[in-house]
Amino acid sequence: MYGGTLPAARVADSRQAALLLDVSLRPLIGVLMGRSCSASEVAHELGLSVQRAHYLLGKLMTAGIAELDSVQPRAGRGVRRFRVGPRWFVPFEATGAETLHAFLAAQIMPRMELFVRLSLRQIGDVHSHWGFWLEHSGTSSSLNLGDPAGRARELFEGDEPFLLNLGTMHLSPQNATELKRRLLAVLEEFQTLEDTGGTAYALGFLFAEGVME
């Protein structure tokens, strides 16, 4: 991506950290890390009003995160284009979080809430009436969506591009490492197939030692 040489990283102060780690600002920051944009381009890309785009760009500019990249001449006032440096290091001390647990929770939980909302929308599109099946599975129990006829295999195991699977596996350290390697390989493979004009899908891998209760 960087031709073998990484650009220099900037170290965030506490004010910058608050904005860089704001989950709601990450889409905007991601766009500006990739290319310079005008306020109208930001508005179009993220589905915002131009006024809102100007406001958010102003916040990033004031904090020293966004920079003026260029001004394109036009009749009247020129079109200003902004960018954000592609690499930042945010020291834990700059986050204001009391513990690493609090920091990770603040980053992960809003995304989990969003994933739940996206899942419910897709589930509702497939079937309007749902119930739950609690069944013994292996060494524990499993809870699955379904209807009186049984669990929704067509949703979770069929061709619907949807996956929601939380559980526990008992693996040797070697097999756990191999599972991680394969998951990352699949992710890397499909990243090469990304189509900017395709449908957006929320994706998350959760894999840690312990029991999912």
Which letter, b or e, does each residue of 39-56 get, where b requires 16 or more Cβ atoms within 10 Å of its Cβ?
Answer: bebbbebeebeeeebbeb
Fold type of domain 10-95: Arc Repressor Mutant, subunit A (1.10.10)
Distance CA 54, CA 60 (A): 10
- Cα(first)–Cα(last) distance of the chain, in Å? 40
Residue among 74, 80, 81 at smallest CA distance from 31: 81
- 47 secondary structure, DSSP code: T
Contact 204, 115 (CB under 8 A): yes
Q: Where in the chain is the domain with CATH 1.10.10.10?
A: 10-95
Q: Can you give the pLDDT of all 213 residues of the chain as single tens digits? A: 455 577 788 999 999 999 999 988 999 999 999 999 999 999 999 999 999 999 999 999 999 999 999 888 777 678 899 999 999 999 999 999 999 999 999 889 988 999 999 998 888 888 778 898 888 876 677 788 888 888 888 888 888 899 888 888 889 999 999 999 999 999 999 999 988 788 989 988 888 999 877
Residue among 76, 93, 212 at smallest CA distance from 142: 212
Distance CA 11, CA 107 (A): 19
